[in-house]
Amino acid sequence: MGMKARISRPVLQRIIADAAAFPGEEICGLLFGAPQCIDAAKPCANVAADRSDSFEIDPAALLAAHKAARAGGPRVVGHYHSHPNGLPRPSPRDVLAAAPDGAYWLIVGGGEARLWRARIDGQGFDPVELEAAPGCAQG
């Protein structure tokens, strides 16, 4: 059986809407929650040199989120980004950038979102079945 995770429906809807609002560039941000539940997201500046086909989360935002998590704040479980002219699956560039950390990669493309988990061995991604729900604590 494959991996499964839940995401707060309002969080997912906001990410998809943000991607649609910036059709010519990749948006990006951080995902927060637990291993099987994404209950929050924070948009971050894309500081990549060419935002039309790549993303780089603002390092200051990333460091601040990890520092807050160590102090008892929400846990960073991954990030999201969009593919303005592509599909919601890892691109060759994404595969090269995948860190061997098991983090989630939520990718938005063509008006839909799909969830992936970076393989621990650093060799790409595994798909994760994503269920949008009102909240993670609800069935």
| Span 27-63, pLDDT tens digits | 999 999 998 999 999 999 999 999 999 999 999 999 9
d(CA 109, CA 83) in angstroms, rounded, equals 5
Q: Is 16 left (phi over 0), alpha (psi -120 to 50) or beta?
A: alpha
What is the residue extent of each domain of the chain?
A: 3-133
To the nearest whole number, what is the mean pLDDT of the chain?
Answer: 91
What one-letter code names the amino acid at 135?
G
d(CA 97, CA 116) in angstroms, rounded, equals 14
- For 77, the token pair is 């479980």
Tell me, which fold does domain 3-133 have in CATH? Answer: Cytidine Deaminase; domain 2 (3.40.140)
Q: Are 78 and 130 in contact (CB under 8 A)?
A: no
